[in-house]
Structure 1
Amino acid sequence: MADVSADQLSPAARPGVITLARHGEPALSRKVRLNAPEYGDWWARYEVGGLKEGQVPPPGLLELAKSADVIIASTRPRSIETARAVVGDRAFATDPTFIEAPLPPPPWPLWIRMSPKRLGFFARFWWWFFDNHGGQETRKAAEARADQAADLLIELSDSGQDVLVLAHGFFNWMIANALKKRGLSKLTDQGHGYWSIKRFRRA
């Protein structure tokens, strides 16, 4: 029997591509200085806020959306607004499995004040390495959720469907790690900026 290349397989027989995209730039300003409790309040507003006006998704992401068979957004407003900007009138699913991992403020004295960007870095550090979850989702629970998300995406892509997820920077990174542990190959990695993408396919 003659060998058959991957390009000759039917779409249903060849695994699809999984694309993880980060949302666009949120409207909430980062040009403030906050202490830890104030950062907790700021993050709560960030979680329920939408996108900054006037943004246009990158052309490459718009093209990927046109060819995607399945499109999923998290249930956060910034993710849903990103999906609407990218896919237009097309229908898409929303799933809380893909929401961002929490960022509880670090246990610091009130006199320490920083920008939300810097405080977010330290909040993530304390959450990741010291289990500072403040009653929110723990790192272990978030890793289990990332595994669940990866398994769902692999199930969809193994049926031959290209999947586009429009969600969040750090949790997308966690899903990407789960995909790599399951043997998928990374095709593209644009880093962690707004609108950036990571793409994976089973070899």
Structure 2
Amino acid sequence: MADVPADHASPVIRPGVITLARHGEPALSRKVRLNAPEYGLWWARYEEGGLKDGQVPPPSLVELAKNADVIIASTRRRSIETARAVVGERAFATDPTFIEAPLPPPPWPTWIRMSPKRLGFFARFWWWFFDNHGGQETRKAAEARAGQAADLLIELSASGQNVLVLAHGFFNWMIADALKKRGLTKLLDQGHGYWSIKRFDRA
């Protein structure tokens, strides 16, 4: 078989960039003090709620979305409203694979009361280290889901498409960890604040 001339060789396709963005600030107030059972009810309302009014996404995130070939939100309302704020009338996909990892309340006596932010920290600690899942998704199951999400994003970006996910803080971190384990390189990490992003590509 004759050699293919160099100028007719198939071009090498560089994988696209994967961006994980956290949603904007939710409407549900954190200026309350709750015990563990009350926190469970508060978190259920948080999961159902949308964004606080009057927010504007960072211009850098809006610009990044313009250059994204694939845009995905989770099926939670706060994620969908974030995507709409960022992309305007442009179409985007929704996928339950990207919903937040659960936050069952810690098994504490009811006399312990604190803010949702602090209770959320301890709820995550008990879920992560002591498998306190309360019948919800376990850490092991969430890690498997994060791996599935990472594999999907890698597959979507393999053909050179830039992929943007508009989802949730802790589960985005879990996906980021799965991407790193699969050999991707972190380009940017803005932490865990609202509207923050993490970016990865294949080195």
What band does the TM-score fall into relative to the shorter chain?
Answer: over 0.9
TM-score, structure 2 normalization? 0.95
For 2:68, the equivalent position in structure 1 comes to: 68
> Deviations for 1:7-41, whole angstroms, at most 9, x for unmatched residues?
xx96x711100000000000000000000000000
For 1:23, the equivalent position in structure 2 comes to: 23
Q: Does 1:188 align with 2:169?
A: no
Q: What letter matches 1:134 in structure 2?
A: G
The within-5 A match list for 1:17-166 is 17-166=17-166
Q: What letter matches 2:199 in structure 1?
A: R
Q: Work out the CA distance in 2 between the residues paired with 1:170 and 1:189.
A: 13
Would you say how many aligned residue pairs link Structure 1 and Structure 2? 197
Q: Work out the CA distance in 2 between the residues paired with 1:32 and 1:180.
A: 37
TM-fit CA distance, 1:136: 0.1
Q: Does 1:201 align with 2:201?
A: yes
Q: What letter matches 1:119 in structure 2?
A: L
For 2:167, the equivalent position in structure 1 comes to: 167
Q: What letter matches 2:153 in structure 1?
A: L
Q: Work out the CA distance in 2 between the residues paired with 1:159 and 1:142.
A: 27
TM-fit CA distance, 1:191: 0.1
Segments of 5+ residues of structure 1 without an aligned counterpart are 4-8
For 1:6, the equivalent position in structure 2 comes to: none
What secondary structure, in the 3-state scheme, does the structure 1 residue paired with 2:106 have?
coil
Q: Work out the CA distance in 2 between the residues paired with 1:66 and 1:176.
A: 22
Q: Give the percent of matched residue pairs that are identical in Structure 1 and Structure 2.
A: 89
TM-fit CA distance, 1:159: 1.1
For 2:3, the equivalent position in structure 1 comes to: none
Q: Work out the CA distance in 2 between the residues paired with 1:60 and 1:197.
A: 10
Q: What letter matches 2:94 in structure 1?
A: T
Q: Work out the CA distance in 2 between the residues paired with 1:42 and 1:15.
A: 41
Q: Work out the CA distance in 2 between the residues paired with 1:54 and 1:84.
A: 14
What secondary structure, in the 3-state scheme, does the structure 2 residue paired with 1:201 have?
strand
TM-fit CA distance, 1:134: 0.1
What secondary structure, in the 3-state scheme, does the structure 2 residue paired with 1:195 have?
coil
What secondary structure, in the 3-state scheme, does the structure 2 residue paired with 1:105 have?
coil
Q: Work out the CA distance in 2 between the residues paired with 1:35 and 1:73.
A: 31
Q: Work out the CA distance in 2 between the residues paired with 1:201 and 1:155.
A: 12
